[in-house]
Amino acid sequence: MAEPEQGLPAALAELEAAGLVGVERPAIDPEQAAQATTYTIHPGVAETVRAAADPPVLAAADVELGNYHIAMHQQGLKTEMEGGGSGVAESARRAAPYLLRQGRWGEASTLLERMIHRDKSPDSLAFALPLLHRIVEATAGTDRELIDAGVLAATLGKARRIAEAEAIDRDRIQKCVAQGNYRLASVAASQLVNLLQSSGRLEEALKVAEEMAGYTRQAGLGPWTQLGDEGQRLQMLADMGRYDEVLATVEALRPKMDDLPLESEAEEAVNPWNVRETLLDTGRMAALGSERWETALALNAEVVKAKLARGADALEVARTRFNDYAPLLRMRRYDGARALLLNCRAIFEADRDIPRLGKVYCALADLEDNTGGRAAAVRFEEVALGYKYQAGEPESCTVSHCNLANYLERQGADPAAVLAHRLADAVICYQSQSGGLATTLHNLANANLPPTRPAFADVVKRVEAIEGVRFQALFDRLPRTAPDGDAAIAAVWQMVADEKRRREDEKRRRDEERQRQDAVLASVPASVRAAFELEGDKFAAALREALAEMPEAEATALKQRLREVDLIQSSAGPDMTEVLQEFEPLLQGIAAAVNDEGLRAQIEPALAESEENGWRLTEAAHRIWAGERDATTLTARLDEQDTALVRRVLELLEQ
């Protein structure tokens, strides 16, 4: 047996003395210091050692370290639901390089897939993608080819590299069908459906969903799997705003599900209980979209009942019951909403469910804001923000920064504190190029800003005064759109200044246009002027009648004058009936997303695509989601066709 001075402690001491490792010893009980000490190796040192080591030694080290991290990963999976899974993603990340050097492609692919499932941060995606590309190249022509390509496509989709992910998925489906592997073709088609759906290409997604159902049948999969396909189709219909159709289909399927045995005679690729709960929850979402609050509550009660019947734990049941909060709030059943949220909070606290605690405190803040508890709204949102930083989800943090700024402003708090949270929201969105940037720029442009922008350090100090908020650390993990915090604030500040200037120019243009229009109207016959006091069909009929009473040449000249000052539109242009019909799914989605932040992320790609095609809907949609309902303000810079689309969204909201 080796003497202590000849073992690991002595070796570590020598490495430290030579400066080959960094050592961090926390200020704790000396007897515990050995267990808590952290040793770090600079990448340059590690590479130098690897270059000098014998290949058999390196290979052995790769095997041992790869197996070690796999064991840590598996232990994390076993204890994940008990709070021991914090290292699941990290152990997968550490294992991957060792596994790749050994050519253990399948294990590496599986671990990277699990890592991305738990950590979708830009840093994790950037780490995983080149490794997955390497795995796909290595497994080409093997049984793993189509499986590993699916993992790569899913990861590309999460990175919003849609075109690349779509090309891989379509190629997978084609190869699966050619091989007669209809089961994997169904899986690949399902992934493509999700990709298209998240990109707002719902009609295309519906078409692929129909093909997916065919692959499922050809694979001989059973009725529960086929019901699962139908559930995926209904989710898309709900996204398209076809709520009545979704609800009717869900109601028709409920007796069928009740009659089906849980143990199917045919092979299934799904869990029956998951299909049942997903279908019922899709109905609940459709009920929310159509503001059928009681129906939403009834369907969610059915989901809860199903979960209890299969023995779901208290945490899973509480997560489902939490869905009752929105309809209770809309129905102004505030006592019921408060009791629900407090019950959910107790369960989430007992299980240390950090992401859900962020959501429940955010909901409590919303409830207090609706019932006049301004101080409580601020307090709850601050707690929510602390939990969201613990969860490490940048998009979720921006929501709470925005909410907190609004609550502080209503409370009459220090404007500098309000501005700090608006800028924290803005720079996170700017660095990550989030679709929420437009909304936060709109909020900043509406604010009375100081003459000079605050320093990033001041913003950090103010927002980090809230317990648990680690804004600087979160910012450091974001993509480097701007090189540092001050540069990010400067970029945001400039965009806000540009927006304010644009608004001023637009107001001046509108004022000048109104003056020209007033001058023209003052010179026309009284019957024509009277027509402009009407709207819609009544206006069109009155104007036609007034012009018919005038000599033809005079009427033609007058119509030209009216067109020149935009009092009437040229007859040229697209047929608006057809345009409205084509855009109806997107317009329904914009309206539904007022109460669904998750849906907004799905709609953003469709808005971007419409902008590329010359339709200007994005800014109006963001303003509607931010609470703007004034048609004149929303359509001030839009032409007749864009205006008609925005007015249709407002009409849907009124309904």
Largest CA distance in the chain: 116
* pLDDT classification of 344: cutoffs 50, 70, 90: very high
Query: CA dist 174 to 119, 153, 527, 653, Å?
Result: 30, 15, 66, 42
Predicted structure pTM score: 0.64
Strand, coil or helix: 39: strand
Q: How many residues does the chain have?
A: 655
pLDDT tens-place string over residues 112-162: 888 887 777 777 788 888 888 888 889 888 888 888 888 888 888 887 788
Higher pLDDT residue, 504 or 38? 504
Question: 100 and 80 in contact (C-beta within 8 Å)?
Answer: no
> Is the pLDDT reported for residue 452 higher than 90?
yes
- The set of long-range contacts for 470-476, using a CB threshold of 8 Å and a minimum separation of 24, is 470/389, 471/389, 471/424, 474/389, 474/392, 474/394, 474/397, 474/428, 475/427, 475/428, 475/431
Single out the residue of 502, 483, 479, 501 nearest to residue 491, CA to CA: 483
**What is residue 2's predicted lDDT score, i.e. its pLDDT?**
44
Round the average pLDDT of the chain to a whole number and report it: 84
Task: Report yes or no: 425 and 404 within 8 Å, Cβ to Cβ.
Answer: no
285-338 pLDDT per residue, tens: 999 888 899 999 999 999 999 889 888 889 999 999 999 999 999 999 999 999
Residue 407: per-residue pLDDT: 94
Which of 296-300, 342-346, 390-394 has the lowest average pLDDT?
390-394
Q: How far apart are CA 489 and CA 484, in angstroms?
A: 9
Weakest-pLDDT range from 85-94, 318-327, 448-457, 644-653: 85-94
Phi, psi of 40 (to 5 degrees): -120, 145
pLDDT at 496: 93
Residues 101-114 pLDDT 10s: 888 888 888 888 88
Among 81-90, 300-309, 342-351, 522-531, the least confident range: 81-90
Reading the block at residue 600, the tokens are: 């907004």
Q: pLDDT class for 60, splitting at 50, 70, 90?
A: confident
**pLDDT score, position 297:** 96
Mean pLDDT on 153-175:
86
Give every CB contact of residue 191 below 8 A, 6+ residues apart in sequence: 150, 153, 154, 157, 169
List the one residue out of 139, 358, 141 whose CA is nearest residue 151.
139
CA 551/CA 571 separation, integer angstroms = 21
pLDDT tens column, 43-56: 676 777 777 777 78
Instruction: Find out whether 337 and 367 touch, Cβ atoms under 8 Å.
Output: yes
Q: 1-10, 340-349, 586-595 — which is least confidently predicted? A: 1-10
Rounded percentage of the chain residues whose pLDDT exceeds 90: 29
503-523 b/e with 16+ CB inside 10 Å = b? eeeeeeeeeeeeeebeebeee
> What CA–CA distance (Å, rounded) separates 228 from 205?
15
pLDDT at 574: 55
Asked if the model's pLDDT at residue 562 lies above 80, the reply is: yes
Q: What is the Cα–Cα distance from 222 to 229, expressed in whole angstroms? A: 11
Residue 518 confidence (pLDDT) above 50: yes
Q: Bigger pLDDT: 116 or 532?
A: 532
**Calpha distance 412→397 (Å, rounded):** 22
Task: Quickly list H helices, 392-436.
Answer: 394-411, 415-432
Please state the three-class secondary structure of 126-183 as a single string: HHHHHHHHHHHHHCCCCCCHHHHHHHHHHHHHHCCCHHHHHHHHHHHHHHHHHHCCHH
pLDDT of residue 83: 47
**How far from 241 is each of 40, 475, 583, 593, CA to CA, in Å?**
54, 36, 12, 10
Annotated domain spans of the chain: 1-52, 56-142, 573-655
Looking at residue 339, its pLDDT comes to 97
Pair of tokens at residue 469: 């908020």
Q: Which of 35-49, 532-546, 560-574 has the highest mean pLDDT?
A: 532-546
Q: What is the pLDDT of residue 80?
A: 56
Mean pLDDT of all residues in 452-477: 94
